[in-house]
Structure 1
Amino acid sequence: MSASLDSGRQLPPQTTLRHRLAELRGPASVPRPLDARALAALAANPGCKRRALLDGAGVDKTALAEKLGSPSGFGQSQFAIARGNAFEAKVKADGGRELLRLLGVEEPSAVDLPDLAAAGPQGRAARTALALREATEAGRWALLDHPMLAVEVAGAPVYLEPDVVVVHPDGRWTVVEIKSFPMIDGSADAAKVGAAARQAAVYVLALGRVAAVTEGATVAHSVLLVCPKDFSNLPTASVVDVRKQLSVTRRQLARLTRLEEIADAVPQGVTFDVAECSAEQLTAAVEAVPHAYAPECLAACELAFHCRERARAADVVEALGRSVRGELGGLTTIGEVLAAARGEAGDPEDPAVAALRRAQALRTEALACR
């Protein structure tokens, strides 16, 4: 009797989604948690249902890419990870003395260091929210080391762990991002600072959800970027305004198709279980989910080489970049573009076609003059 009742019981939507994602990942596979770096990359390409589903299911994309025969060099080296961990430990040593110096706090005893230990990510997120509220109510400085924040992405909860969150006596909360790349003469590599800003914007977005239900709390729209000074290991800091990155991240994450819709469109029986499936089975599984490849993916996604190969095989203009795709209007393949340029196809009144034919004429004229 109880078995029949269980079989007819309607599971909550979130439970059903978790079961479906577990099936896609593989029952024995441990889910890979999303982090801010992955969320920033996902927000930069919200049209890619493939990445959204694989990340939402917690699939190990590095192992998947290797099994598909298209391993990617994306990711940090072990040396870079070790160097970053060592520098972060130095910044946080002695109760965060170096970090407090950068914040202009002369007396470390005036700063609270709340214990954020709890069971599981949900427990840690709840403990972090409580510590933030208590520090704001007390009107004291507080350093939260590796707090846990929660944000919803495509209908599923994601837990994030910034390096540090600082609570100011006036109720302002500031995200601190600690990086091991050098800051020479007060400035660092623009590309690396931009990547750090996009990552920090995800933390600011998640922190804002807690501040919205905490009286007297505000979240700073600038983050404190801490890096080694010049060629030494001495920490230095720079304030980075992330309002632009925050706006883009919020808008792009809101555009993501909900995971339920993507998962429902995948045929039953499809799985990304790297340990159990052959390369042919995984290739068919990956191809069952649409992708939105762009050259920018090469710096942000482990499956970029595989998706680039498929995009080139399909002759789509997206393989040339989003800006090129935007300029070509209704021309969707490289073959159509070349045919339009040669005058073999396309509407002459179409601005994209007219521009291509003009470019072809200029090229022909230039070659004739050589």
Structure 2
Amino acid sequence: MSESLGSGRPPAPEQKPTTALRRRLAELRGPATPARPLDARALAALAANPGCRRRALLDGAGVDKGALAEAIGSPSAAFGQSQFAFMRGNAFEAKVKGDGGTELLRLLHERMGKGAEPPGQALTPDLAAAGPEGRAARTALALREATEAGGWALLDHPMLALEVAGSPAYLEPDAVVVHPDGRWTVVEIKSFPMIDAAADPSKVGAAARQSAVYVLALERVAVLTKGASVDHSVLLVCPRDFSNLPTASVVDVRKQLAVTRRQLTRLSRIEDIADELPPGTTFDLDGQSGASLATAVEAVPAVYAPECLAACELAFHCRGRAREQGTVTALGRSLRGELGSLTTVEEVLAAARGESGDPADPTVAAVRRAAALRAEAGAPCH
């Protein structure tokens, strides 16, 4: 894992959506339907599948994808923690933050202290306020005050705000630590284990994408705070081996941060996606048949991958369509990347049989070689 890197260049100003765009998004989800708020998990899922125009548009418009999936007759993909895992995670987080966050601060100083004095009595400001907007304002004030004080501070479940396609997304990281030198570090506490100092790469990747969203939101506050900077590495705290004792690793989220920035830029231009829809397209659940809604959904291009099953309510619907069309993305992004210009299963099989494809194409040659080896392996012995 990499060390902390500092904040780098300040974030570019966000493009404010126009009134016309906000009106257009309201029409898409239904004028009487409140927008479904975006959270860090939804934004991280967008970053994980940046090519899916369908998810970008539906999330940007605040459409309830779970209700939409049910309305078009497709089961909504179930994902998230079980009740047992949720309770175990809460218990572990309470243990890590116990005694004023002593153990959490010790781990952070050990991994990311940069020669600073070990934390003694850290500030733990009260972040209570009315509603998410009030909590976000209170968090911004606490961050500024802690930075000016020049000591250690631990913000437990701060509230951060990020403007996404005209709607505020309120984000709640597990913790943010303010260093004596003015650095702000996101802390993510997860209940999956680190065994021999290594955790499940897929789970670490998901945590990194989610943490990158928090870092992006923090940058919006830091740019207005004198002497503040935001780490582009986060502290991931997990149980050590098979115990309930905490350990930590530093996770570099620069790559995930760059992808998230690009996705938010794309969301600020979702009017371009909406303009390509047939006239009258809407995802309003009131007064529309399932067939009409299905037609509206299919009007927006999607890029399905197996990873969508863990992050999107429409995953089963998109998987069914991908299988009907025979797209190789349904078999995984890595395979899709290996197959180059061969985008469907039928194209791959035709190339393997020698019925199509340029023999000089390395992908076609590799597929034909694989088919020949398979035929040899299945041939009877003489």
TM-score range, shorter chain: 0.7 to 0.9
- Matched AA of 1:117: A
- Measured against aligned partners, the alpha-carbon deviations of 1:17-45 in whole angstroms (never above 9, x if no partner) come to 22322232234434322222221221121
CA contact (8 A) 2:136 2:158 kept: yes
CA contact (8 A) 1:183 1:227 kept: yes
User: 1:290, 1:113 → 2: CA distance?
Assistant: 46
Q: CA deviation at 1:307?
A: 0.4
- Measured against aligned partners, the alpha-carbon deviations of 1:134-186 in whole angstroms (never above 9, x if no partner) come to 22112122222322323355676533221211111210101111222234555
- Matched AA of 2:90: N
**Identity across matched positions, percent:** 75
How many residue pairs get matched? 357
Quickly say closer, same or farther: Cα 1:22–1:248, change in 2 above 3 A.
closer
- Matched AA of 1:14: T
Quickly say closer, same or farther: Cα 1:219–1:70, change in 2 above 3 A.
same
CA contact (8 A) 1:227 1:236 kept: yes
Map of 2:76 onto structure 1? 71
User: 2:194, 2:264 → 1: CA distance?
Assistant: 31
CA contact (8 A) 2:76 2:315 kept: no
CA contact (8 A) 1:155 1:258 kept: no
- Measured against aligned partners, the alpha-carbon deviations of 1:65-123 in whole angstroms (never above 9, x if no partner) come to 23332331322223333433344345445654554454566644x414143525553x4
Q: CA deviation at 1:313?
A: 1.1
User: 1:79, 1:264 → 2: CA distance?
Assistant: 45
Quickly say closer, same or farther: Cα 1:293–1:101, change in 2 above 3 A.
same
TM-score with structure 2 length normalisation?
0.81
Report whether the alignment pairs 1:113 with 2:117: no
Q: CA deviation at 1:290?
A: 1.0
Q: Which runs of 5+ in 1 are unaligned?
A: 1-11
Map of 1:57 onto structure 2? 61
Q: Which runs of 5+ in 2 are unaligned?
A: 1-15, 110-117
Map of 2:19 onto structure 1? 15
Structure 1 residues 306-315 or 259-268, which shifts more? 259-268
CA contact (8 A) 2:57 2:267 kept: no
- Matched AA of 2:123: V
Q: CA deviation at 1:327?
A: 3.1
User: What RMSD over aligned residues (CA atoms) do the two structures have, in Å?
Assistant: 2.9
Map of 2:48 onto structure 1? 44
Map of 1:282 onto structure 2? 293
- Matched AA of 2:127: D
User: 1:231, 1:143 → 2: CA distance?
Assistant: 27
Structure 1 residues 24-33 or 35-44, which shifts more? 24-33
Map of 2:227 onto structure 1? 216
Structure showing greater relative contact order (alpha-carbon pairs closer than 8 Å, 6 or more residues apart): 2
Q: Give runs of aligned pairs for residues 248-327 of structure 1, distance below 5 A.
A: 248-251=259-262, 253-254=264-265, 258-274=269-285, 276-327=287-338
User: 2:228, 2:235 → 1: CA distance?
Assistant: 18
Map of 1:33 onto structure 2? 37
User: 1:185, 1:127 → 2: CA distance?
Assistant: 39
TM-score with structure 1 length normalisation?
0.83
CA contact (8 A) 1:291 1:307 kept: yes
Q: Give SS of 1:144's match.
A: strand
